[in-house]
Structure 1
Amino acid sequence: MIFDRQKQRLLLEGREYTPDDISRLLAEGENAYPSAIRDLFLFLREWFNDSPFMKVHTSGSTGTPKELTVRKEQMMQSARLTCEFLNLQPGDKALLCMNLRYIGAMMVVVRSLIAGLNLFVRPATGHPLADINESLKFAAMVPLQVYNTLQVSVEKERLQQTDILIIGGGAVDSALEAEIKRLPGAVYSTYGMTETLSHIALRRLNGASASEHYYPFSSVRLSLSSENTLVIEAPLVCDEVLQTNDMARIYSDGSFMILGRKDNVINSGGIKIQAEEMEKRLQSLIDVPFVITSVPDRRLGQAVTLLIEGRLHLTAIEGRIQAVLEPYYRPKYIRMVNHIPRTENGKINRAECRILAQNLHLGGKEE
């Protein structure tokens, strides 16, 4: 692997570009290229400059987006860990189809640079395989992209020809996971965040090694805080010990499960309810996007609220919920909305969902 940035080369659909090539192409005019290629070249211009640092942005799925300054050396170490774990080799065909504003997409490029992968670039749309005619070794997508791809037979066939797929940027629900289990290639859910420069653990979703547990890279050390939130020590990619807001359970073999975010615990009449756990229990009952959130309540403190995207029969939904949830877990309010709020990269925007639920509650009507 190549860690000297000035010796790295971009292999783009079989054609090699040096740092000087990138500078020259941009000097000739940024607008001469499709937006996805232009964004790639702009990222590379920053990557190849003299600064050892880069600016990255958090997604803002749980609060206000933040700008972070990270070390390029640590980004390369993160890329190395993934390439070694997945046994990616020079010339392997890799797909970049996510927004280069965020760390997940950046790391696809860095992996390509240090390992000599042959990069194919497509816009960050819901159907990234719509015009891919290559059998890919490696691809990284968000859950919505995977879901959309599986709905179109031609795109699904191309995904079936992809050897390795990693899915990040959001939870993989049980219905999507069931479809993924039928894919022949190796598919992983990733665990990580901007602060850890992409993922520090992987969970196999299909095949004989499929598991509900995430397995961290060997250089990562995990523990739990007094509130049972995950504490990450990953010295290769993060200078400080990272205190997360993710409620977790760690097992004797070093693997772990994420139960949900501390921010998403709803305290309803003294009963602590994990929003993600409730969503998992309801997943098989509601076949459209939905989210569990809360609104302030004078008696309960917080009242569990279910937002459903679309227009479904309310009585039928209430009946299904009563069959699977104990009374104190059931949503006190169910609201139909046109759209579940999401961030730019497709994650559920929990903060906006709470605001939407509260506005609907105060208005006493649907969106």
Structure 2
Amino acid sequence: MIFDRKQQRLLLEGKEYSLEDIRRLIAGGAEAHSPASWDLYLFLNEWFNDSPVITVHTSGSTGTPKELIVRKDQMMQSARLTCEFLNLEKGQSALLCMNLRYIGAMMVVVRSLVAGLNLIVRPASGHPLADIEEPLRFVAMVPLQVYNTLQAPEEKERLKQTDILIIGGGAIDEALEAEIKTLPTAAYSTYGMTETLSHIALRRLNGPSASSHYHPFSSVKLSLSVEDTLVIDAPLVCDQILRTNDIARIYSDGSFMILGREDNVINSGGIKIQAEEMEKLLRPFISVPFVITSVPDQRLGQAVTLLLEGERDTEKIGNKLHELLEPYYRPKYILTTDCIPQAGNGKVNRAECRILAKQILTTFYPHMFKSLS
């Protein structure tokens, strides 16, 4: 592997490019290239400059998006960890099909530079395998891309011919995971965040080694805070010990499970409800996109709220929830919206969901809504 950026070259669809080549392509102007290629050239130009750091953006899925300054040498260490774990080697193909604004896509490129992978570039779309002809060694996608791919027979067949698939940037629901289990592709769910420069642990989704637990890289040390949130010590990729908002359970072999996010705990009348756990329970019974959120409530503090995408029979769904859930867990409100808010990388934007739910209630149901504010 090559860790000296001055010695690195990008193997792009079978052709090798140096910094000088990239600068010549940029000099030709954006109109001479596809938007996906142009974004790649701009990233490479920044990667190869003299600065030891680069700016990345968080998704804003749980709060306000922000910029982080990260070290390029640590990004290369992260790339090494993944390439070694997955046995990725020089000349093998890797697909870039995500937005280069975010760390997940950046790391696909950095892995290619460090390990000499042959990078194939496609736009960040819902159907990244639509026109891929050659079998791929390595692909990284978000869950929505995987879901869409599995709905299109030709694209699903191409995914079957892919050796390794990693999925990050959002939760994988049970139905999607069940379909992934039928694939011959070695599929993994990743755990990580922008601050850890992509993932620090993987969970095998299919095959004999499939597991419900994430397994961290050997250099990563994990512990729990007093609030049972995961604490990460990953010195190769992060200078500081990182206290996450993810409520976790760690097992004796070092593996772990994520139960939900601390900031997604809804405190309704003193009962603490984990939004993700409720969503997991309800997913088999609700066929449309939805999210469990909350609104301020004078009596309860926070009122559990079900936000559904599209016009739906809320009375029928409410009756089903009455059967499934204990009284304290039943949503006080069932609301509909044209579209569930999402962040730029396809994650549900939970902060925006809370704002939207409150707006819907105050606008259309003011007689029902008694807010704390």
State the TM-score, normalizing by the size of structure 1: 0.98
Question: Could you tell me how far apart the structure 2 residues matched to 1:212 and 1:310 are?
Answer: 32
**Distance in 2, Cα, partners of 1:21 & 1:150:** 37
Q: How many percent identity over aligned positions? A: 75
* 1:184 counterpart = 2:177: no
Secondary structure, in 3 states, of the residue corresponding to 1:169?
coil
Q: How far does residue 320 in structure 1 lie from its aligned partner after superposition?
A: 2.3
Equivalent-residue separation in structure 1 for 2:190 and 2:133 (angstroms): 26
Q: CA deviation at 1:315?
A: 2.7
Indicate the SS of the match to 2:3: coil
- Deviation of 1:152 after TM superposition, in Å, equals 0.7
Name 1:46's counterpart in structure 2: 46
The question of 1:138 aligning with 2:172 is answered no
Q: Which residue number in structure 1 is paired with residue 120 of structure 2?
A: 120
In 2, distance between residues paired with 1:215 and 1:326? 34
Amino acid at match of 2:17: Y
Residue in 1 aligned with 2:371? none
Match of 1:150 in 2: 150
Task: Measure how far apart 1:72 and its partner are.
Answer: 0.3
**What secondary structure, in the 3-state scheme, does the structure 2 residue paired with 1:55 have?**
strand
Q: Structure 1: which amino acid aligns with 2:263?
A: D
Is the partner of 1:267 in helix, strand or coil? strand
- Quote the Cα distance in structure 2 between the aligned partners of 1:199 and 1:71: 16
- Rounded Cα–Cα distance in structure 2 between residues aligned with 1:189 and 1:319: 34
Take 2:145 and 2:173, find their aligned partners in 1: how far apart are those partners? 13
Would you say 1:341 and 2:344 are equivalent positions? Answer: no
Distance in 2 (alpha carbons) for counterparts of 1:64 and 1:112: 31
Task: Report how far residue 365 of structure 1 moved.
Answer: 4.8
1:287 matched residue in structure 2: 287
What is the alpha-carbon distance in structure 2 between the residues aligned to residue 336 and residue 76 of structure 1?
A: 44
TM-score with structure 2 setting the length: 0.97
Secondary structure, aligned partner of 2:11: strand
- The answer on 1:12 being equivalent to 2:5 is no
Amino acid paired to 1:121: V
SS at match of 1:287: coil
Name the CA distance, whole Å, in 1 between partners of 2:323 and 2:281.
11
Whole-Å Cα distance in 2 between the matches of residues 26 and 362 of structure 1? 50
1:255 equivalenced with 2:262 (yes/no): no
* 1:82 CA displacement: 0.2
Q: Flag structure 2 segments of 5+ consecutive residues without an equivalent.
A: 367-373
What letter corresponds to residue 55 of structure 1 in structure 2? T
Q: Which residue does 2:225 correspond to in 1? A: 225
Match of 2:268 in 1: 268
What is residue 83 of structure 1 aligned with on the other side?
83
Q: Which residue of 1 aligns with 2:22?
A: 22
Q: Secondary structure at the match of 1:352?
A: helix
Distance 2:139 2:323 in 1: 39
1:20-46 Cα shifts (integer Å, max 9, x gaps): 111121122233100000000100000
The offset of 1:253, in angstroms, is 0.7
Instruction: Name the residue aligned to 2:370.
Output: none
2:96 is matched with which residue?
Answer: 96
**SS at 1:284 equivalent:** helix
Answering whether residue 64 of structure 2 is matched by residue 64 of structure 1, we say yes
In structure 1, stretches of 5+ residues that fail to align are: none
* Alpha-carbon displacement from aligned partner over 1:191-224 (angstroms, at most 9, x marks no partner): 0000000000001111111111111000000001
Q: Secondary structure at the match of 1:91?
A: coil
